[in-house]
């Protein structure tokens, strides 16, 4: 059995080689390049493919794999919004993802963004760099006693809710079209998204990007929020309309934002521009230059534990698929994914 692995980063090489040594019946080859219509040629002669989302997958790349007789594709991440499901269905692909690799990685990161925003860390960092060690006027706000609204309560959202409630003593409220039975006893669910938007001081997003949720946080949603609320997005950039966020920050309706993902992150994250001014995106620059906005380049997932689990789980799943075993982690490509 032969598996070709695309987009292998330096930090993935060790777990991938370890997996290969533990699975001598599988022969693997890999590239640092992501799967594109050009690099797809590398997979000729292989039985299956393992990849990771960094940019949208092109129809041409999938067609090439199909023409090489490949129909099994395992991604090493949770989100599947990089695929057009029609392409996958047209070329009869079975797609698997890694629905759970380390919910704590993302939930902890989201909680740090909340803490760094409320204690005005970017402003203190700037003062510090200039040798200014005065407290005033950079006074902070405590999370304790604040109402934290969690949108999406799957694996990640539920860990985040617990951190906020039991770790920081916040009042947590949550909204989910499909409430998580494990959280029902906490009594945190509200009945509608509007209710959450109206009540929360801090709103954190933990949902996948389904087509109907594109720009879930737009100007209308922001108008329903409390004056001076905070937005945290460690889920998918497309959930928040960056222009509406900029307008909300300008008006003061939004007091700050912690963003690990952005609706225009493709072509920006994973690149080195040398300076913020060189980034070819005005909305990005506008957000990045604010003291009350913290941007991290889609790094919430990026821990040793998560990376190890992503590689192992995806490779195990691809091997099982190719062995004809009925495997977990199969993405329902008839409907948009409900995985986070």
Which are the catalytic amino acids?
236, 265, 298
Report the distance separating Cα 155 and Cα 160, nearest Å. 9
Report the distance separating Cα 26 and Cα 181, nearest Å. 39
**In the bound complex, what is the minimum distance in angstroms from residue 31's beta carbon to ligand COI?**
17
**In the bound complex, what is the minimum distance in angstroms from residue 301's beta carbon to ligand COI?**
4
The residues with which 95 forms a beta bridge, in sequence order, are: 73
Q: Which is nearer to ligand COI, 105 or 164 (CB)?
A: 105
**In the bound complex, what is the minimum distance in angstroms from residue 33's beta carbon to ligand COI?**
16
Nearest one of 294, 288, 226, 285 to 258, comparing CA atoms? 294
Is residue 318 a contact residue for ligand COI (CB under 6 A)? no
Task: Give residues with Cβ within 8 angstroms of 154, minimum separation 6.
Answer: 176, 180, 206, 207, 339, 340
The residues with which 217 forms a beta bridge, in sequence order, are: 240
Is residue 301 a contact residue for ligand COI (CB under 6 A)? yes
Candidates 3, 26, 49, 52: give the one binding ligand COI (CB under 6 A).
52
Is residue 53 a contact residue for ligand COI (CB under 6 A)? yes
Q: Annotate 98-110 with b (16+ C-beta within 10 A) or e (fewer).
A: bbebbbbbbbbbb
Report the distance separating Cα 319 and Cα 47, nearest Å. 10
**In the bound complex, what is the minimum distance in angstroms from residue 234's beta carbon to ligand COI?**
9
Is residue 43 a contact residue for ligand COI (CB under 6 A)? no
Q: Which is nearer to ligand COI, 79 or 149 (CB)?
A: 79
Candidates 7, 15, 48, 79: give the one binding ligand COI (CB under 6 A).
79
Q: Which residues bind ligand COI (CB under 6 A)?
A: 52-53, 77-79, 301
């Amino acid at each position: 059995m032969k598996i070709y692995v695309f987009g292998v980063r330096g930090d993935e090489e060790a777990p991938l080689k370890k997996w290969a040594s533990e699975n001598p019946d599988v022969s693997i080859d890999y590239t640092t390049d992501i799967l594109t219509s050009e690099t797809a040629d590398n997979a000729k002669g292989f039985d299956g493919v393992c990849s990771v989302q960094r940019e949208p997958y092109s129809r041409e790349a999938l067609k090439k794999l199909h023409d090489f007789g490949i129909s099994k594709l395992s991604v090493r991440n949770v989100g599947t919004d990089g695929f057009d499901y029609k392409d996958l269905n047209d070329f009869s692909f079975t797609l698997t993802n890694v629905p759970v690799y380390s919910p704590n990685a993302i939930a902890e990161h989201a909680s740090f963004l909340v803490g760094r925003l409320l204690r005005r860390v970017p402003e203190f960092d700037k003062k510090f760099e200039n040798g200014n060690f005065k407290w005033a006027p950079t006074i902070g706000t405590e999370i304790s006693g604040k109402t934290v609204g969690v949108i999406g309560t799957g694996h990640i959202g539920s860990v985040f809710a617990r951190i906020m409630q039991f770790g920081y003593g916040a009042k947590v409220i949550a909204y989910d079209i499909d409430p998580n039975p494990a959280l029902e006893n906490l009594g945190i669910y509200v009945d509608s998204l509007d209710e959450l938007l109206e009540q929360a001081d801090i709103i954190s997003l933990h949902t996948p990007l389904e087509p109907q949720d594109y720009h879930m946080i737009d100007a209308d949603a922001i108008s329903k929020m409390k004056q001076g609320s905070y937005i945290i997005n460690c889920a998918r950039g497309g959930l928040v309309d960056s222009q509406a966020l900029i307008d909300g920050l300008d008006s003061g309706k939004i007091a700050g934002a912690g963003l690990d993902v952005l609706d225009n992150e493709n072509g920006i994250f994973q690149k080195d521009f040398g300076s913020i001014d060189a980034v070819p995106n005005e909305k990005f620059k506008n957000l990045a230059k604010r003291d009350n906005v913290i941007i991290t380049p889609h790094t919430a997932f990026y821990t040793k534990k998560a990376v190890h689990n992503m590689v192992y789980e995806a490779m195990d799943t691809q091997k099982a698929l190719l062995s004809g075993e009925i495997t977990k982690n199969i993405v329902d490509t008839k409907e948009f994914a409900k995985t986070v």
